[in-house]
């Protein structure tokens, strides 16, 4: 598998895959960097090759690393230019191997997406399967001209057992934690960090005894969080420390302007949290049911963020046990994306790819 970067959720999925007896896994991936300083120990338990920044542009090196162990199936990361997937697919040295492309980009109806059908037509013809993050990615695959017969979903998974370990629905008699949590990159353009800050400010002005807002992440717009009443910034939090932070929270908020899927939503769901996210979060289709385990609000405005926070606050004031009820529902919706199910799903896709006739044959 050629992957775009190291993360805690991806590493958990790779470990689950490596534990299977029907797959011999090797992961080739760029090494952690300052913008995502994950502990390299996450990569233990399976065979991998971490690419340094100087190695990523080296096409021959990346190709040769992928071909070690003579794989039958090679997984490529969409059309991510730094990792050469389109060039790799056309390389004669990969001939005779099944190629699976994964993508997380949702269909947005832009002219660039429609033009992609022609720009990458020869690449798409070489695929045995294409795996989208969810239904919005599946729609894009269809727009790109990929035969729906070979399109699947389920690009992402995460460590469900790690994130769910602290949630106990039988403790509904205990007070529900009175704090919101945000987890993601501190970027205005994509994660809507400005909307989070302004929405939280509006919320604080509307309720008595407002909840705190805790944030964890890193990014260029972190300064927006500084000096804001009620906001506590934890900075970058390693995956092993996330369950405790989520367990002390009462609701997850993600006001993204652009979110290809949103693994953090699944992780918060596994932690048993009500989920508040924008309609731009593609994972909302899979993980959030309004007034059942959270809210999906309009993107690119602070007012809907404030409204969602106020709704959860008042819902818990009205019925203190409703947090636990929503938490159970969130867990049920998140469970199919656990690393063990991810590994089973992808192992099945590998077998499907092997049963497919090689393109051009």
Query: Tens digits of per-residue pLDDT, 60-72?
Result: 999 999 999 999 9
pLDDT surpasses 60 at 361: no
- Report, as an integer, the average pLDDT of 43-68: 95
Percent over 70 (pLDDT), the chain: 97
Q: Give pLDDT, residue 33.
A: 76
Kindly tell me if the per-residue pLDDT of 307 is higher than 90.
yes
Q: Give the pLDDT of residue 172.
A: 67
pLDDT for the residue numbered 40: 76
Q: What is the pLDDT at residue 356?
A: 85
How many percent of the chain have pLDDT more than 90? 86
Q: Taking 80 as the threshold, does the pLDDT of residue 36 lie above it?
A: no
**What was the pLDDT predicted at 174?**
80
For residue 42, the model assigns a pLDDT of 85
Going by pLDDT thresholds of 50, 70 and 90, the confidence category of residue 360 is: low
Q: Is the pLDDT of residue 229 over 60?
A: yes
Is pLDDT above 80 for 43?
yes
Q: What is the mean pLDDT of residues 240-268?
A: 96
pLDDT band, very low/low/confident/very high, at 37 (cuts 50, 70, 90): confident
Ordered strands of the 151-153 beta sheet: 73-77, 98-103, 129-132, 151-153
Average pLDDT over residues 92-119: 92
Q: How confident is the model at residue 357 (pLDDT cuts 50, 70, 90)?
A: confident
- In the predicted structure, residue 34 carries a pLDDT above the cut 70: no
* Model pLDDT, residue 297: 97
Burial annotation 131-147 (CB, 10 A radius, 16+ → b, else e): bbbbebbbbbbbebebe
Q: Is 70 exceeded by the pLDDT of residue 173?
A: no
If pLDDT is split at 50, 70 and 90, which confidence band does 230 have?
A: very high
Looking at the domain 8-157+338-355, which fold is it? Rossmann fold (3.40.50)
Residue 359: band (very low, low, confident or very high) from pLDDT cuts 50, 70, 90: confident
Lowest mean pLDDT among 149-158, 161-170, 178-187, 261-270: 161-170
CATH number of 160-337: 3.40.50.2000
Average pLDDT over every residue of 261-287: 97
> What are the residue ranges of CATH 3.40.50.2000 in the chain?
8-157+338-355, 160-337
Whole-number average pLDDT of the chain: 94
């Amino acid at each position: 598998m050629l992957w775009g970067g190291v993360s805690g959720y991806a590493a958990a999925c790779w470990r689950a895959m490596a534990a299977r007896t029907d797959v011999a896994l090797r992961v080739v991936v760029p090494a952690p960097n300052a913008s995502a300083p994950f502990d390299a120990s996450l990569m233990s338990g399976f065979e991998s090759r971490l690419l340094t920044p100087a190695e990523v542009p080296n096409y021959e090196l990346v190709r040769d690393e992928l071909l070690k162990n003579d794989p039958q199936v090679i997984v490529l990361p969409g059309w991510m230019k730094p990792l050469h997937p389109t060039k790799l697919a056309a390389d004669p040295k990969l001939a005779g191997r099944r190629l699976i492309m994964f993508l997380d980009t949702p269909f947005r109806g832009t002219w660039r997406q429609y033009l992609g059908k022609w720009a990458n037509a020869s690449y798409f013809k070489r695929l045995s399967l294409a795996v989208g993050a969810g239904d919005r990615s599946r729609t894009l695959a269809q727009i790109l001209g990929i035969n729906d017969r070979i399109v699947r979903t389920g690009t992402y998974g995460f460590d469900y057992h790690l994130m769910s370990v602290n949630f106990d629905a039988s403790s509904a008699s205990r007070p529900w934690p009175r704090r919101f949590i945000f987890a993601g990159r501190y970027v205005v353009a994509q994660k809507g960090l400005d909307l989070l800050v302004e929405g939280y400010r509006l919320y604080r002005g509307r309720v008595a005894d407002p909840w705190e807002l805790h944030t964890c992440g890193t990014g260029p717009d972190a300064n927006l969080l500084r000096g804001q009443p009620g906001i506590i910034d934890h900075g970058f939090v390693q995956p092993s420390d996330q369950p405790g932070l989520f367990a002390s929270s009462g609701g997850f908020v993600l006001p993204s302007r652009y979110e290809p899927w949103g693994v953090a939503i699944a992780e918060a769901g596994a932690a048993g949290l009500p989920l508040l996210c924008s309609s731009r979060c593609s994972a909302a289709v899979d993980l959030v049911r309004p007034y059942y385990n959270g809210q999906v609000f309009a993107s690119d405005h602070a007012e809907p963020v404030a409204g969602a926070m106020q709704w959860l606050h008042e819902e818990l004031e009205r019925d203190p046990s409703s947090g636990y009820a929503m938490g159970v529902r969130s867990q049920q919706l998140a469970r199919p994306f656990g690393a063990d199910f991810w590994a089973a799903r992808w192992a099945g896709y590998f077998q499907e790819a092997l049963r497919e006739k090689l393109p051009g044959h």
